[in-house]
C-alpha cells in the first residue's frame, strides 16, 4: 500500500498522536528505504513507483522503463504470469504515475492516453480509480478503450452510472470501476471509497485465484496535499488512507497468510511537526512545495515481514516482495 508523498516518519507521529485506531502501532516491523532515482537525488512518483514495481532505478518521468528506455517486467505482470490474481485501487486517475508503473511502459508519465492503452491488454484483474476520459473521450484518437476492456473480459462500471457500494463483482470476470472522469475528488469533499474499495479488492482477488494475489493500494492525494502545503487537506487524506490500511490489516489478521507493506514512493512537502503537545495538538509546517530526498519508512505485517527491517534502497522492496512470493 503506497501513501504517495507521505512523510511517513512524520505521518506515523501524527497517527500516534492523533489517531484513535493507532493502526501503525500494529505493524511489528519498520524499515527505511532510500528513494533517489537514477538521475536525481529527489525522485518523482514515476521513478519511485518504477523502483518498487520493477527493482530498477530509472530516470524521473519514466514508467517501468530503465534509464536507457528498455522495458522492465513489473511485479504485477510477473504475479499474473505465475497465476496470482492482481489489482490496483487508487484515489488518482488509474493512469497516474504510481499505478501506471505497475502495468504500463512509457518514457513519460504524462502520456495518459498512451498509458491507458496498456490496460485492456494488461493482465490486471481488478482496478478502481479515476481517469475514465483517457479511455473513452480521447484527444489523440477515437479508440474506445472501455469497449476494448470489455472485449478483453472486463466488467466495466463507473461512478456516473453505478454506485460502487451496490456492485457485487463476480470473480469469474475481470473488474474495472472508474471513480471519476479525470482526478477523483479530495477526501475533504466527501471522497471516501478507498477503504471499501481496498476490502472489495482483497475479497475479489482471493476468489479470483487460489494461488494468492498482488494488490497495490495508493492514497494518491496525500502527495497533492503536501505539494500545496495544505495541512487540513493532508489530514483528511491521511485519515482516509489509514482507514484503508486498517481494513486490509484486519483481513490479513483474519487469514494469517497475507503480507501487508505500507510505504511511500517518496516524501513531499518536507513536513515537520512544530510545537504542540503529546495529546491532540501538533503544528505541522512544510519546507518545500516539491518532493524531498528523506528516507521513507516501510511498515510490514504478516509472513515475511521481518525481511523489511533495516535501511535499504527502494529497489530492494521489489526483491523482498518477490522473495516472499517465492519468485526467487
Distance CA 236, CA 219 (A): 11
* Near Mg ion in 93-112, by CB under 5 A: 98
Phi, psi (deg, nearest 5) at residue 13: -65, -45
Instruction: Identify the residue among 4, 44, 117, 237 touching Mg ion (CB under 5 A).
Output: 4
CB of 219 to Mg ion, least distance (A): 9
Give the residue with the Cβ less far from Zn ion, 7 or 284.
7
CB of 165 to Mg ion, least distance (A): 25
User: What would the x/- binding string for Mg ion be over residues 186 to 225, using CB under 5 A?
Assistant: ----------------------------------x-----
Which H/E stretch holds residue 18? Answer: helix 8-18
> Which of Mg ion, Zn ion, none lies near 263, with the C-beta cut-off 5 to 8 A by kind?
none
Summarize as ranges the residues that interact with Zn ion (CB under 5 A). 5, 223, 268
Instruction: Identify the residue among 37, 43, 45, 292 touching Mg ion (CB under 5 A).
Output: 45
- Nearest one of 261, 290, 313, 237 to 11, comparing CA atoms: 237
Q: Determine the size of the site formed for Mg ion (CB under 5 A).
A: 4
Q: Considering only 38-46, 77-85, 159-167, 186-194, which stretch makes contact with Mg ion by CB under 5 A? A: 38-46
Distance CA 110, CA 131 (A): 13
Distance CA 264, CA 268 (A): 10
CB of 268 to Zn ion, least distance (A): 5
Active-site residue set = 45
Q: Considering only 79-87, 90-98, 273-281, 283-291, which stretch makes contact with Mg ion by CB under 5 A? A: 90-98
> Which of Mg ion, Zn ion, none lies near 98, with the C-beta cut-off 5 to 8 A by kind?
Mg ion
Nearest residue to Zn ion on Cβ basis: 223
Give the residue with the Cβ less far from Mg ion, 59 or 98.
98
In this structure, what DSSP letter does residue 283 have?
Answer: E
Beta bridge partners of 155: 175
Catalogue the long-range contacts made by 9-15 (C-beta closer than 8 Å, 24 or more residues apart).
9/294, 9/295, 9/296, 9/297, 10/271, 10/272, 10/273, 10/284, 11/222, 11/238, 11/271, 12/297, 12/299, 13/273, 13/282, 14/235, 14/238, 14/273, 14/282, 14/284, 15/238, 15/242
CB of 218 to Zn ion, least distance (A): 12
> Which of Zn ion, Mg ion, none lies near 158, with the C-beta cut-off 5 to 8 A by kind?
none
**CA distance to 29, 42, 265, 295, per residue, from 313 (Å):** 17, 13, 11, 9
Distance CA 176, CA 214 (A): 16
Provide the 3-class DSSP secondary structure of residue 127.
strand
CB of 25 to Mg ion, least distance (A): 25
User: What would the x/- binding string for Mg ion be over residues 231 to 260, using CB under 5 A?
Assistant: ------------------------------
Q: What residues line the site for Mg ion (CB under 5 A)?
A: 4, 45, 98, 220
Amino acid at each position: 500500500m503506497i501513501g504517495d508523498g507521505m512523510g511517513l516518519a512524520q505521518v506515523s507521529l501524527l497517527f500516534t498522536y492523533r489517531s484513535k485506531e493507532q493502526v501503525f502501532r500494529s505493524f511489528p516491523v519498520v524499515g527505511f528505504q532510500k528513494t533517489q532515482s537514477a538521475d536525481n537525488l529527489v525522485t518523482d512518483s514515476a521513478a519511485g513507483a518504477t523502483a518498487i514495481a520493477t527493482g530498477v532505478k530509472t530516470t524521473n518521468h519514466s514508467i517501468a522503463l530503465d534509464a536507457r528506455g528498455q522495458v522492465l517486467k513489473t511485479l504485477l505482470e510477473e504475479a499474473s504470469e505465475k497465476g496470482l490474481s492482481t489489482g490496483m485501487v487508487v484515489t488518482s486517475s488509474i493512469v497516474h504515475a504510481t499505478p501506471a508503473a505497475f502495468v504500463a511502459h512509457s518514457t513519460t508519465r504524462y502520456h495518459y492516453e498512451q498509458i491507458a492503452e496498456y490496460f485492456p491488454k494488461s493482465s490486471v484483474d481488478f482496478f478502481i480509480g479515476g481517469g475514465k476520459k483517457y479511455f473513452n473521450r480521447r484527444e489523440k484518437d477515437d479508440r474506445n478503450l472501455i469497449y476494448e476492456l470489455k472485449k478483453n473480459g472486463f466488467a466495466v462500471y463507473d461512478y456516473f452510472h453505478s454506485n460502487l457500494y451496490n456492485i457485487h463483482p463476480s470473480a469469474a470476470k475481470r473488474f474495472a470501476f472508474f471513480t471519476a472522469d479525470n482526478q477523483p475528488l479530495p477526501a475533504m469533499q466527501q471522497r471516501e471509497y478507498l477503504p471499501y474499495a481496498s476490502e472489495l479488492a482483497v475479497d475479489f482477488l482471493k476468489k479470483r485465484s487460489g494461488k494468492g494475489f498482488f494488490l497495490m493500494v495508493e492514497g494518491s492525494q496525500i502527495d497533492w496535499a503536501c505539494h500545496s502545503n495544505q495541512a487540513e487537506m493532508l489530514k483528511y487524506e491521511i485519515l482516509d488512507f489509514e482507514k484503508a490500511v486498517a481494513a486490509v490489516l484486519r483481513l490479513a489478521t483474519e487469514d494469517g497468510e497475507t503480507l501487508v507493506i505500507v510505504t511511500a514512493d517518496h516524501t513531499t512537502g518536507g513536513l515537520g511537526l512544530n510545537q504542540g503537545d503529546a495529546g491532540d495538538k501538533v503544528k505541522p509546517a512544510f519546507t518545500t512545495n516539491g518532493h524531498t530526498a528523506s528516507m521513507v519508512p516501510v511498515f510490514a505485517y504478516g509472513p515475511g515481514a521481518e525481511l523489511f527491517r533495516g535501511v535499504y534502497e527502494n529497489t530492494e522492496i521489489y526483491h523482498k516482495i518477490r522473495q516472499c512470493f517465492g519468485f526467487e
